[in-house]
Amino acid sequence: MNAIKALRSWPADRRDSLRLALWTAAEIAEATGGTASGDFQVAGVEIDSRDVRSGDLFFALKGETMDGHVFLDKAFANGATAAVVDRPIDQPHILVPDTNAALEALATASRKRSAALRIGVTGSVGKTGVKEAIFAALDRASRGATHRSVRSYNNHVGVPLSLARMPVRCHYGVFEMGMNHAGEISGLAAQVKPDVAVITTIAPAHIENLGSIEAIADAKAEIFEGVTKGGTAVIPADSPQFEQLRDAAIAKGLVVRSFGKSAHADVRLLDAIPAANGGSLVTADMGETRLCFSVAEPGEHWISNALCVMAAVQAAGGDLGSAGLALAEMGGLKGRGARHQIAAISGKALMIDESYNANPASMRATLRQLGQTPATRRVAVLGSMKELGDFAPRFHAQLAEPLAKANVDFAVLVGAEMEALVRDLGKGAGGALAAGLSFAHCDGPAEAISALEEFGITAGDAILVKGSNSVGLGRLVAHFTARN
């Protein structure tokens, strides 16, 4: 069968006949209880005037310190078709009493009108990467009929925005859910009502607000509260909190699918060997079958992520072969593993961008990955890990061991919280360890850039940049990649 015949024989779907416009004025007004100024159609939904594109619907949201109505002129200048507002304006609009409540109402209407199977993803580490990988797997198999949260739109504004953007033609929707406090995931899960709920892992992220690992697990397990009847929970079999998560899912009447190395895992790792491209060749027991596939992303944590993705795709009834191909082709995300070849003395050096987020588990995982990366010298630029509260000194000091195991030659430690690591190393800034590691302690990104430039990046170096987003190490990455 040639390609044209294959396309013609592709099974028809009733959603193929649906219109392409995302929302009409009448639909928005009905969903939000608002009043439309006229008849129009929109192709997208946006809350940031800087990101508005032609055909978008702009929501003028109101926060504690900012009012989106101030940016209406900029939104229309950038191509907005209409806006959702709480006061009359001259341009096309939907008038509502509360724009924030209207966004949530439109999100609910989007979920109710769609036949898409929804997957919710949360976890202490890896949720954005896993969300993107699940999307890539399902999007490949569904001919582009898969929707997902973009960036890290995973909070009380990002989740309803992502739902409101979901086209009615979609077969799958993949939504990321984040939290800082107990009770937040519960509200997000109630909006999404996922058919499959995924927890990537449990680690001491946000422990400042929650107090213990067990409390973090309880907070993540809130995602099960919104799962549709007969839905599936995908959980990490290797986690010390496995039984806690399993019992929480069973209590909600969910089917449990676990992933990991443990003998009881439903999607179980049988073998993983390094691949030529720096990733891994993985063999997994999927229950009724065994599957061998490549994972382009390097590091042991991505082997676990890949098992999680496969468990989620299987639970969603997706194509496992397409999932394997997607994992083999995935590249690193900005701030979450993107790899750059940067200018260096006598050639090029590798810069690994993990600047968006950091917690003790992800720090250890990425340092371990750095230690396995072929390099002339290894450099670690580590920013403070936030929201650890009274646990912060201990968790920062404990980075000494993974730094040593990774055979790091030079470390740039950024932020006040890193003082605990400096003290544990037993030396002042700029000192040297007996193992050969030298380091600098910096206040912020500008000083870190200077420290790295003074050290001198040479051909063959591998530089890991990782820290909590608020530290601002993305500026350091931008500085060195811009030189290319």
Chunked into runs of 10 residues, the chain (484 residues) has average pLDDT values of: 54 56 96 97 97 97 92 97 97 97 98 97 92 96 93 90 96 94 94 98 78 92 97 98 98 98 97 86 94 91 96 97 94 81 92 91 91 93 92 92 93 95 67 63 95 94 94 95 80
Identify any residues that bridge with 382 across adjacent strands, giving them in sequence order. 413, 466
pLDDT at res. 75: 98
Alpha carbons within 13 A on the beta-carbon side of 299: 27
Q: Specify the residue for token string 């468990």.
A: 311
pLDDT at res. 7: 46
Query: 114-329 architecture in CATH?
Result: 3-Layer(aba) Sandwich (3.40)
List the end-to-end C-alpha distance of the chain, in Å, as a whole number: 46
* CA atoms of 280 and 277, how far apart (whole Å): 8
Domain map of the chain by residue range? 18-98, 114-329, 338-482
Structure tokens at 106: 């439109």
**Domain 18-98 fold:** 3.40.1390
pLDDT at res. 4: 57
- The CATH class for the domain spanning 338-482 reads alpha beta
Q: For 437, which DSSP code?
A: -
The size of the chain, in residues, is 484
pLDDT at res. 189: 97
pLDDT at res. 484: 65
Q: What are phi and psi of 359, to 5 degrees?
A: -145, 170
pTM assigned to the model: 0.82
* CA atoms of 364 and 287, how far apart (whole Å): 31
Burial of 58 (0-12, 13-18, 19+ CB in 10 A): buried
| 8 Å CB contact between 455 and 439 | no
* CA atoms of 74 and 69, how far apart (whole Å): 10
Comparing C-alpha atoms, which of 136, 56, 140, 46 is closest to residue 99?
46
Helices of type H across 231-341: 242-251, 300-315, 320-329
Distances (CA, A) of 452 to 337, 414, 422: 20, 12, 17
Comparing C-alpha atoms, which of 447, 484, 143 is closest to residue 339?
484
| 8 Å CB contact between 387 and 467 | no
* CA atoms of 87 and 69, how far apart (whole Å): 9
**3-state class (DSSP) for residue 349:** strand
Distances (CA, A) of 49 to 64, 73, 219, 255: 18, 9, 33, 42
Cβ neighbours around 450 below 10 Å, total: 13
pLDDT at res. 8: 53
* CA atoms of 162 and 281, how far apart (whole Å): 33
* CA atoms of 275 and 297, how far apart (whole Å): 10
Cβ neighbours around 376 below 10 Å, total: 13
* CA atoms of 461 and 437, how far apart (whole Å): 15
Q: For 461, which DSSP code?
A: -
* Sequence-distant (≥ 6) Cβ neighbours of residue 437 within 8 angstroms: 403, 404, 408, 409, 410, 411
**410-442 pLDDT tens trace:** 999 999 999 999 988 765 444 444 445 789 999
Comparing C-alpha atoms, which of 328, 340, 337, 339 is closest to residue 136?
328
**3-state class (DSSP) for residue 170:** coil
DSSP 323-337: HHHHHHH--PBTTBB
pLDDT at res. 10: 52
